[in-house]
Amino acid sequence: MTGNIYLDLTNEFNAGRLRAILSSGQAVVVHGLALASKDGDWILREEAECFSHILQVLEGYSASYRLGAPLDMRWMSGGWSAHFEFNHEGNRIRCDFVSRPPRLASDDLANLWEQQESGTGDNFPVPTLDLRRLALLKATRRERDYSFIGEIARRLPTVREQILWSRSARDLASLAENFPEEVRQLVAQRPLLSRIGEGRRVLQRALDEERYFMSEADENRLHAYAQAAQHWNTAWTRIRAEIADVPLRQAHKTLVQHAEKLLPEAPDERF
Amino acid sequence: MNDSESRNPMFNFQDCDEFLSEEDLDIGNLPWPERIKAWNLWLATMQATNDQDKDDYSHGVFLSERQKRELWGDEDDENHGADTASPPAL
């Protein structure tokens, strides 16, 4: 036992094999950046055995489902998220899971699992999302997440990654001065790099505009899921009452039965 | 390893934009036993905000009604009636 519930949960999730990678807010703590979130987030390997094991662990904590998708291949593969909550030693503990994190290409996700399995990367107490992919996940609708990206960018292991992720006009100017060829090569990938020579004010405006577009993209993604979940949301109060006092794995079966009628497996599907 | 792959000494850059405070970043200076203690203390202290965020989501694709209103106003309520498909009965 590590003494921290989120580290301990990660270890329990990974008993016997790698199933879960600590992500988002608690990964920020592991990387030594800040204490920033009360909730735990994990990226799960998209296999039925993994989901079954997670449910078993959570049942041991008397966890219950929050409004969310069932922890089931059909919905998780559609990019949905599953959410749980329990009380532990006086603290409200929330566990959020995805198996298809946003903005991670499928080959990048596959590489993530390969890298974690081979043990390459940082020497952390539990499998933890690396900084580059953490920056990807932080490109959300929330303005404060971009502060994390700004700090993360300074710690990325290669100059190319720092150029692609920097949120600072000053840092980008320095990078351009020291690594002009790399900046030139990356303009196609990140157009605002072409504005580095126009001065800090212009570049900062370009950074703000870039952040706006990233934020808007995340909002649009969430809107699609919100639209797809309308019937599910409407029915949730009744579903929750139905599963309130049963063990989690039994509640899960009930949840799946309802989700088959009310929650599309992907946001672009309709009943 | 070429220059592009080497680590850039960005941390030595004197005139930096500040994204996270020194207090935030101090967590990274703590050895693991102390970091865990600080982490646990922070989690316990932040329980005081549970009532405020009891319906909210920090990650994933679900949002509370409050979070939806903050993002999109009341457009979901306005559009709900336009959905011609009735939800299946439970």
B32: nearest CB among A96, A125, A158: A125
Shortest distance between the Cα of A43 and any Cα of chain B, in A, equals 11
For residue A190, pLDDT over 50 is answered with: yes
Local confidence pLDDT in tens for the 90 residues of chain B: 344 444 444 554 556 788 998 888 889 999 999 999 999 999 999 999 999 999 999 889 999 999 999 999 876 444 433 333 444 444
Mean pLDDT, rounded, for A162-181:
96
pLDDT, tens digit, 9 for 90 and up, residues A54-106: 999 999 999 999 999 999 999 999 999 999 999 999 999 999 999 999 999 99
* pLDDT band at residue A2 under the 50/70/90 scheme: confident
Whether this prediction's pTM lies above 0.95 is answered by no
Choose among A109, A131, A90, A93: nearest CA to A12.
A93
CATH among 2.60.120, 3.40.35, 3.30.460, 3.30.360 for A5-105+234-262: 3.30.460
- Please give the pLDDT value at position A114: 96
pLDDT at B6: 41
pLDDT beyond 70 at A121: no
- Give the best residue of A222, A240, A262, A269 to mutate against chain B (max B CB count within 10 A): A222
Does B47 contact A154 at a Cβ distance shorter than 8 Å? Answer: no
Instruction: Tell me the shortest Cα–Cα distance from B27 to chain A, in angstroms.
Output: 5
Query: For position B83, what pLDDT does the model report?
Result: 36
Specify the amino acid at residue A140. Answer: T
pLDDT at B86: 44
Q: Would you call A230 an interface residue with chain B, using a CB distance cutoff of 8 Å?
A: yes
Q: How far apart are CA A171 and CA A162, in angstroms?
A: 9
Q: Model confidence over A153-164: pLDDT tens digits? A: 999 999 999 999
- Which pLDDT value is given to residue B79? 42
pLDDT value of residue B74: 76
Interchain pair B60, A262: CB under 8 A: no
User: Of B27, B35, B59, which has the smallest distance from its Cβ to A24's Cβ?
Assistant: B59
Could you tell me the residue ranges of all domains in chain A? 5-105+234-262, 139-226
Tell me which of B3, B19, B21 to substitute to probe the interface with A (most A C-beta atoms closer than 10 Å): B19
